[in-house]
A and B are shown apart, each in its own frame.
Chain A
C-alpha cells in the first residue's frame, strides 16, 4: 500500500464480538490524509461494525485506535467528533420531523444558534456542490437530499476523517456520481481522509485510492485501487472457502413451470422501486438459488410471497392461476410455503408449545366451532416430530427449550406437511450448526425431488453453489443475471453481486 505520509488514523488488532459471533477479528487499518480508502465486503463482513467502533457507537473488545500516533479512547460520537472523526450512516441518522438546520445542529454541544447553523448549511452546500434548503423539513426531502443533509451535518464539524457507510445504496447513478465528485473535492481541499464503505465493485475501484477487503470480520486483502480489478476483488470478497459438506446438487429439472412472477413492481419511497419489473419462474423439481447483497429487493419479494405485501404492478401466477397479492393467507392457500428469514420473529412463537407451533397454520385442527381438538393436535404433532426428527421432550415442550436447528425443523415440518407446490426458504440455515445445516439441505433436496419448486434465498455462497440448479442474482430490485450449469462459479457470482453484468 502506498504511504506518502503518516496515517491520520491507525487501528491495530481491533476485535468486536456480539455474543459468540465475531464481527471483527484483529483488524488493522491505516487511513492516510488526502486519500479515499474503500472498505469492501459482503453483508456481515464486519464493515459497519468496524466503522461504528471508530465513532464510539460500539466499544471494541480488543485493539487500539491511534490518531496522529496518539492512542485514544472513543466512547461516543461526541468523543469521535472532538478527535475529528465523523460518520455518515447507512440507515440515515436523521430525525425526519425536524428541519434540515435542526438536524445539522444535533450532536453539537454549544449554544443553539439557528442563524449560524442555517448559514453553515448554505455555505457548505455551495462550497461542495451539495445545496439544500436549511429550513426544509427532512421528511419532505427525497432520499438523495436527505443524504446531503447527513453529509453536511458531518462536514459542519470539519472532520479530518469522514466515514461514509454505503452512501450510494439508495441513490440513483446520477446522484451517486455527484456525490463522488463532492467527496473528491473534500479530500483535495483540506487535509481530509475519507473511508468509503461499500460492496459495489465499480464504485470502489473508481472512487478510491486504497482498498481493504473484509470477509467474516477479517482483513483479506489490501491493495491500491489502481492495482485492483473487479475480478480479483470479487474473489477476495466472496472467498474460496472449502465446501464443508458434500451435498448433491438438485438434478437439473425440465419440470413444468409452477410459479411465474412477471413484471413485479413494489414501489418504495420517493419513486424508487424496491422491486423493479422482476421476472422469475420456478419449475417443478428444481432448486433456484437467489443471491444478492442486502436491500436489493429479496426481502420485498419474500414479503410478497408471504402475503405480507401487495404488488404495485405485475402479477404472480401459480399453475397459471393468478394469486391475489397482499391478501392474508392467499399465497399459503394457493400452495406457497415459506420458511421466513427471521425464525424467532416470524417463524415460531417461542412461548408456545411445539404442538401449538406445528398447528399454527393448520386450520382443520381447529376442529368444530373454532375449538381446538387437543388430541388431534397432539397426535399430528407426534407424527411430525418423528418424521422430521425434532429433538424435544414431547409435543408439549415449550418452543424456547429447543435448539435453533430444531426450531427450524418445526418450521419446516409445519410448512411441508400441508403439501405445498412451492417452498420459499429464506436464509434457512442462518445461525444453525453444521448438523442442522446438513439436515436442512437434505430436506430441501428431498422436497425438490418430490416435485416441489424450491426458491432458496441465501447469502451463503457455498450453499447456493452446491444446492441450486441455477442461481439468480438480485440487484436494485430485479434479477440482474442468472447462472446455470458451469457458469456457477465464484467470480461470476461475485461480479453479479457487485452489479456487473459483463
Chain B
C-alpha cells in the first residue's frame, strides 16, 4: 500500500508525467473541440479519427514540400477539411447514413495514407520548442503547457473561440437549434443541413490541425498507426463532457492523462504490463461513460438526419 502511495506521489510530482499528459490531452483537444461543434449541430461525427490521420499525413507532406512548420500545419488543416467535405456532403446533402460514411472514411483514410506514405515517403522533422515568457516559469505545469512546439499553442485560442462561436453568435444559435429541433429550425427559416455541413467542416479544420500537430509537434514523422483510435477517445470526451465545452476539455485532460501513462510510467521508473496500459484509456473511457452517460443530455437530434418538413 505504501508503495502504491509513493508511486502515485512520484508520478504526480514528475514533470515528465505532466508534459506527456498535456501532449496527449492537446491531441484529444484538437479533435474534441471541433467534434463538439459538429455534435452540437446534430452530427455524431465518427470520421474524426480519419480527419486526424488525414491531417497528420497532409502535415507530413506539407513539411516535406515546404520545410515550414506553418505550411505543414496549413496542409494538415486542409487534409482534415477534405475528409470533412466528404462526410458533410455525403451525410447532410445526399442523406447517406452518417455512421456508414464515417466508418468508411476512417478505413479509407487509413488505407490511402498508408499507400501514399509508401509512394511519397515524406521527410519530416519535429518542430523545436518555443517557451512562452513568464508562463513557462509556472512550477509543474509551466513546461508542460507553455514550453512546447508552437503548433500546440494554436489549441489555446481555439477553445474560447469555439465557445464564443457557439454561444455568442447567430451562427452558433442556429447550430444549437438545428442540433436540438431541426424541424423547428427549418420552420424558422434556417438552412438545417447547411449549418450541419459547416459544423463538420469546423471539425475537419480542428482535427486536421490536431493531426499535423501530432506529426510536426510531437513525433516528427508520419506513421499510419499514430492516431491509433484516439479520435474515438476524443469523441468519448465530448460525450463524457455532457456536450458542454468545459466538460469536453475536462474529458480530454482525464483521458489524455491515462493515455500518457504508457509513456510516463517507465520514465519515472515504474513497470506495468504494456498491453494493459494500452487498453487502459479505453477501459477508463468505458467506465466514465457508464457512470456519466445517464446523467447528461445529448443534443435532441444528435445523429438524426434531416430530410425535410413532415407533412
Contacts and interface: CB of A to CB of B under 8 A. Distances in A.
Given A18-B311, A57-B309, A77 B188 contact: yes
Residue in A107, A109, A110 whose Cβ sees the most chain B Cβ within 10 Å: A107
Contact of A95 (B169, B170, B185, B311): B185
A106 B174 contact: yes
Contact of B180 (A81, A87, A95): A95
Interface in A66-125: 76-78, 80-81, 87, 89, 92-98, 102, 105-112
B250 to A, nearest CB: 21
A112 B184 CA distance: 19
Nearest to A49: B311
Contact of A97 (B180, B183, B185, B186): B180
Contacts of B173: 98, 102, 105-106, 112
B185 A76 contact: no
Contacts of B187: 57, 77, 87, 89, 93
B309 A95 contact: no
Task: Report, nearest first, the 10 A-B pairs whose CB atoms are least far apart.
Answer: A107-B188, A77-B189, A93-B187, A78-B189, A93-B184, A112-B170, A106-B188, A95-B181, A107-B189, A95-B177
Contacts, number: 66
B168 interface: yes
Interface residues of B, number: 21
Contact of A106 (B169, B183, B190, B309): B190
Given A58-B309, A97-B297, A106-B185, 10 more contacts: A77-B189, A78-B189, A93-B181, A93-B183, A93-B184, A93-B187, A95-B180, A96-B300, A106-B173, A107-B190
Contacts of B196: none
B189 A81 contact: yes
Contacts of B92: none
Nearest to A48: B311
B246 to A, nearest CB: 17
A49 B169 CA distance: 33
Interface of B is mostly: helix
Given A18-B311, A95-B177, A98-B176, A105 B170 contact: yes
A95 B176 contact: yes
Interface in B256-311: 297, 300, 309, 311
Contact of A112 (B169, B180, B183, B190): B169
Contact of A94 (B168, B169, B184, B190): B184
Contacts of B184: 92-95, 106
Contacts of B300: 96-97
A140 B169 CA distance: 24
Interface in B143-168: 168
22 contacts: A23-B311, A49-B311, A56-B189, A57-B187, A57-B309, A77-B187, A78-B189, A81-B189, A93-B183, A94-B181, A95-B185, A96-B180, A96-B181, A97-B300, A102-B176, A105-B170, A106-B184, A106-B185, A106-B188, A110-B170, A112-B169, A112-B173
Contacts of A107: 188-190
Nearest to B174: A106
B100 to A, nearest CB: 19
B168, B173, B185 — most chain A CB neighbours (10 Å): B173
A76 B187 CA distance: 8
Nearest to A21: B311
Of the listed residues B170, B183, B185, B309, the one surrounded by the most CB atoms of chain A closer than 10 A to its CB is B170
Contacts of B309: 52, 57-58
Contacts of A97: 176, 180, 297, 300
Given A76-B189, A78-B189, A106-B188, A111 B170 contact: yes
Nearest to B171: A112
B78 to A, nearest CB: 30
Contacts of B311: 18, 23, 49
Contacts of A58: 309
Contacts of B177: 95, 98, 106
Contacts of A109: 170
Contacts of A93: 181, 183-184, 187-188
Given A77-B187, A77-B189, A93-B188, A108 B170 contact: yes
Contacts of B185: 95, 106
B54 to A, nearest CB: 33
B72 to A, nearest CB: 36
Interface string A44-60: 00000100100011100
A52 B311 CA distance: 10
Given A105-B170, A105-B173, A98 B180 contact: yes
A49 B190 CA distance: 20
Contacts of A18: 311
Interface in A378-393: none
A439 to B, nearest CB: 28
A97 B190 CA distance: 17
A78 B188 CA distance: 8
B196 to A, nearest CB: 15
A79 to B, nearest CB: 8
Contacts of A96: 180-181, 300
A294 B186 CA distance: 24
B307 to A, nearest CB: 14
A94 B183 CA distance: 9
B126 to A, nearest CB: 42
Interface in A287-314: none
Nearest to B183: A93
A52 B190 CA distance: 15
Contacts of A78: 189
Nearest to A108: B170
B136 to A, nearest CB: 37
A413 B176 CA distance: 48
A102 B188 CA distance: 12
Contacts of A76: 189
